[in-house]
Structure 1
């Protein structure tokens, strides 16, 4: 290839010299060749540089084992089973089992899909190459397909250089590269790149060393082209879900094993309080707790550091700006309304209350930790709606009008009402959400919200004295823990 380039370059230069000697004006030809050369080398640099990066991908500075990944026992078990064709290649061949060519990791962001792929490489003693789906798509036709070919070549070359019998290619954000063909009508580069990936996966021969396994990761499996998901391509889909409480506890153990804790038992409470957190969230939480302890110049991480870190991960850092006195009172009334209704319909649910601005929120009610819950009754969902509406209703009762601060509450309440309808818990009975007329859905959701708002208003009307006292106290103290809240609110005095 390089020899041909040298011949073409030398011949072109000689031709220009001959034409110049013969008296021809070669300036236009020189400019044209310079333009062509510049464009050619630009394309080469675009392809070559990205190929190099894609071939290197994620460098494993220290091997990661499956034991280092908490809260994903089911995913680890499924992935280990899929890797047996590499670990026990001879036994697999004797049983006549067709080895897998691809494994797809599906789950929300931050759940550990990249860590699972890296652990798979260590588990099978395979060479590891990682890339992102976005690295293979360019505006120039054929560049992405070339990068795919180069990626597989690099994987085999790296395995041979490391004297490994297998190689794992990890492609993150696979939905960018493998989206359904025809969805990108602007140009065909996406489809060409996907076609090349399909061809390369078809060309994987498990009888030839080094064996190649493709591991893809996505949180949008619904966007992938069906050709990628058929048997012989990504044969196995492994669900990587958010961890349960026990899983969160193990993840916290992993991320705090190098941190000095005043009392390790606090991790049990934090695991309970962080329902819905991913592994990445928990790692950030442990790190933020350590940073807070460092700011206070203490040598041990205390319980209140973790509590503050939970608030920071959920809501963001405290803001320096302070609302006006009128805004501060409105926020205090709003959050007090949430707290009173929450404690009334769900006794023991209030953990803390604050009107210190964080992120985009001017105040925040933190509920007490409960066991993980995945199913809800109609009564439980209606109580959640009442808590969501309580802030705006409290503003209306005390300040005689509402504000834009309740927008997020209203959005969540409407979504919850819609969920009631679509799960067959409303007066409409069992329905199909897709076939339900939009007007009927709107009227049913509106009726649910109106009923819950009326119930909420009754509770707050019966608790006006507590509402006034609580909002005045939180203005003075800014933060209120559970004990302080119970000094003002007697949970046995008011009924829903």
Structure 2
């Protein structure tokens, strides 16, 4: 059964490791104390051997103590306040003559046996080493489940199921209706496993949740455990890896053992790709800690009994790098893909995250959902948090639509920067962004303009932002060509209206080149090259595999791809230049308005580029 936390106000039980550490440190202190107190006699002055011989001849020596390698003489009555002791190293070859001199003078001579070394002195280094090992282990394993101490080195670093303060259910997961339907049968299996066993059915041993970061893989796993109301063991793939070989495999065993005892239960392993990468692909050999941990996970997935109601969930955003043995039937044989939310799903996600926020009405959540294509659930949550911060900064009691719009611009475009921009550079920025906006407005198939600005935000000095009117799952060729034309329009405007180009087109050229190369080498959109995959090999996740993989096409083919890409980019730039020349007056009006206001929305852009259409739209 799952462990429950101690009641409030109770004293937590003592940890076994703390007693071990206390005994060790007491032993160390006793050892040090015995060394310091080993010689507690009266203070003695150390002199040279020559001075010692002079003292014996000239002074009244009352007593002498000869040890193994030294001699100590006392002047005056031993133990008296005015007595003085001198110590010197005793040479072996001159010891007999010195003894004869002392006997002739009638000095009382005492021989002292060699001092033995305390056994604690021999044990002290080993006690220190053993104590350091236990301390390091307690630092590595403490606070992550289980008690501290040597026995906890192989215990699982996973969060033990406790009494949940807030239960997460499928109602807290928005925008993934198909995924929830796909995993809902696991809830029935965990609630009533006997009903499935009666007909010989077995639940999937492993369910792999795949999707981009922030799409809710961890949240879905928690919701599944909340719906089934079973213990939830969560951990991360990196938690199994340690500096000691074999620790990861031991922790895997402990994790699965704890889940079996608490069955029905759910095990959730986040970031599975950190330990589940394909084996034998590195340069340093295959026998390492990560692969041993992966082998143990494979063995544990095969080791579930027929009546053990334990489901293993794992999340990754890199399913392409996972070892094939993880994905075969009987292990992670069910794959659930979580995609980025569409417009309706984004509105649902915003509604869930905004439940506890003081919104002014709906604060335009529909407009925010429409204006955030490509945002994940985590991005939308972050947007609402930024809006709340903006409202708090201005001292408002509610989050308004303006706060949401500012937060959206901040997330998409970056924070506003204050830069001292010269008038010439200010004009060039206006020309560049006006070129993007004008060509995007006049080019059929391009995305709808949202806003154009020459205020520095983030790493950019300005930006032209567009929104897709519809959710696109495939990219048509005419749409991609319109994208490339729009990207190169800023550079074309600078070249046409100013006469020179600048480094401001760096990112535009990079993105346009990537699109053109994908069109030619991946999607077969060049009529001469045709439908053939000519991608580079840099997307392979392993250095060993990448180095061992030869080029898959000839040098002549690569040169042909380069020529096709350059031809596509040159044609796009010529088209952008022609569009700007055909609407020179409208572009000049847009540049002037942009230099004056620095930020223009769609209606203001349309009034500059298409006054008649703007007037007709404004008429009642």
| TM-score bucket (shorter structure) | 0.7 to 0.9
Cα gap change, 1:330 to 1:154, in 2 (>3 Å): farther
- Per the TM alignment, residue 35 of structure 1 is displaced from its structure 2 partner at its CA by 5.6
Is 1:227 the counterpart of 2:330 in the alignment? no
Cα gap change, 1:369 to 1:61, in 2 (>3 Å): farther
Q: Which residue of 2 aligns with 1:487?
A: 607
- Per the TM alignment, residue 107 of structure 1 is displaced from its structure 2 partner at its CA by 0.4
Q: Which residue of 2 aligns with 1:407?
A: 506
For the Cα contact (< 8 Å) 2:363–2:400, is it kept in 1?
no
For residues 251-299 of structure 1, the C-alpha deviation after alignment (integer angstroms, 9 at most, x for no partner) is: 1111222334444382222222211110111111222223333334444
Is 1:49 the counterpart of 2:147 in the alignment? no
Corresponding residue SS for 2:460: coil
Q: Which residue of 2 aligns with 1:162?
A: none
2:338 to 240, 256, 261: 240
Cα gap change, 1:322 to 1:89, in 2 (>3 Å): farther
Q: Which residue of 2 aligns with 1:196?
A: 296
- Bigger Cα displacement from structure 2, 326-335 vs 246-255: 326-335
For the Cα contact (< 8 Å) 2:190–2:265, is it kept in 1?
no
1:274-423 matches, within 5 Å, as: 274-346=372-444, 349-421=448-520, 422-423=522-523
Is 1:448 the counterpart of 2:568 in the alignment? yes
- Per the TM alignment, residue 489 of structure 1 is displaced from its structure 2 partner at its CA by 1.3
In the alignment, structure 2 segments of 5+ residues that lack a partner are 1-15, 32-113, 147-156, 536-551, 614-620
Q: Which residue of 1 aligns with 2:365?
A: 267
For residues 134-177 of structure 1, the C-alpha deviation after alignment (integer angstroms, 9 at most, x for no partner) is: 111122211212222232344455x3xxxxx4221111111002
For 2:498 and 2:253, locate their aligned partners in 1 and report how far apart those are by CA, in whole Å: 67
- Per the TM alignment, residue 26 of structure 1 is displaced from its structure 2 partner at its CA by 6.2
Corresponding residue SS for 2:209: strand
Q: Which residue of 1 aligns with 2:130?
A: 37
- Per the TM alignment, residue 462 of structure 1 is displaced from its structure 2 partner at its CA by 2.6
Cα gap change, 1:22 to 1:296, in 2 (>3 Å): closer
- Per the TM alignment, residue 388 of structure 1 is displaced from its structure 2 partner at its CA by 0.6
Cα gap change, 1:244 to 1:128, in 2 (>3 Å): same
Is 1:125 the counterpart of 2:268 in the alignment? no
- Per the TM alignment, residue 476 of structure 1 is displaced from its structure 2 partner at its CA by 2.4
Is 1:430 the counterpart of 2:531 in the alignment? yes
- Per the TM alignment, residue 185 of structure 1 is displaced from its structure 2 partner at its CA by 4.6
For the Cα contact (< 8 Å) 2:363–2:399, is it kept in 1?
no
Q: Which residue of 1 aligns with 2:194?
A: 90
Q: Which residue of 2 aligns with 1:476?
A: 596
Corresponding residue SS for 1:356: coil
Aligned-residue Cα RMSD (Å) equals 3.0
For residues 434-458 of structure 1, the C-alpha deviation after alignment (integer angstroms, 9 at most, x for no partner) is: 5553222211111111111111111
Task: Calculate the TM-score normalised by the size of structure 1.
Answer: 0.87
For 2:294 and 2:144, locate their aligned partners in 1 and report how far apart those are by CA, in whole Å: 16
For 1:365 and 1:71, locate their aligned partners in 2 and report how far apart those are by CA, in whole Å: 29
Corresponding residue SS for 1:55: coil
- Per the TM alignment, residue 465 of structure 1 is displaced from its structure 2 partner at its CA by 3.2
- Bigger Cα displacement from structure 2, 169-178 vs 309-318: 309-318
For the Cα contact (< 8 Å) 2:488–2:573, is it kept in 1?
yes
For 2:431 and 2:351, locate their aligned partners in 1 and report how far apart those are by CA, in whole Å: 39
- Per the TM alignment, residue 459 of structure 1 is displaced from its structure 2 partner at its CA by 1.1
Corresponding residue SS for 2:208: strand
For the Cα contact (< 8 Å) 1:272–1:371, is it kept in 2?
no
For the Cα contact (< 8 Å) 1:175–1:220, is it kept in 2?
yes
Is 1:100 the counterpart of 2:201 in the alignment? no
- Per the TM alignment, residue 331 of structure 1 is displaced from its structure 2 partner at its CA by 1.9
For the Cα contact (< 8 Å) 2:266–2:312, is it kept in 1?
yes
Q: Which residue of 2 aligns with 1:147?
A: 251
For 2:417 and 2:280, locate their aligned partners in 1 and report how far apart those are by CA, in whole Å: 46
Corresponding residue SS for 1:234: coil
- Bigger Cα displacement from structure 2, 403-412 vs 295-304: 295-304
1:248-267 matches, within 5 Å, as: 248-264=346-362, 266-267=364-365
How many pairs align?
474
Q: Which residue of 2 aligns with 1:181?
A: 279
For 2:384 and 2:358, locate their aligned partners in 1 and report how far apart those are by CA, in whole Å: 11
For 1:148 and 1:418, locate their aligned partners in 2 and report how far apart those are by CA, in whole Å: 44
For residues 117-138 of structure 1, the C-alpha deviation after alignment (integer angstroms, 9 at most, x for no partner) is: 1001111111112111111112
Task: Calculate the TM-score normalised by the size of structure 2.
Answer: 0.70
Corresponding residue SS for 1:52: coil
Cα gap change, 1:319 to 1:226, in 2 (>3 Å): same
For the Cα contact (< 8 Å) 1:104–1:237, is it kept in 2?
yes
Higher relative contact order (CA 8 A, sep 6+): 1
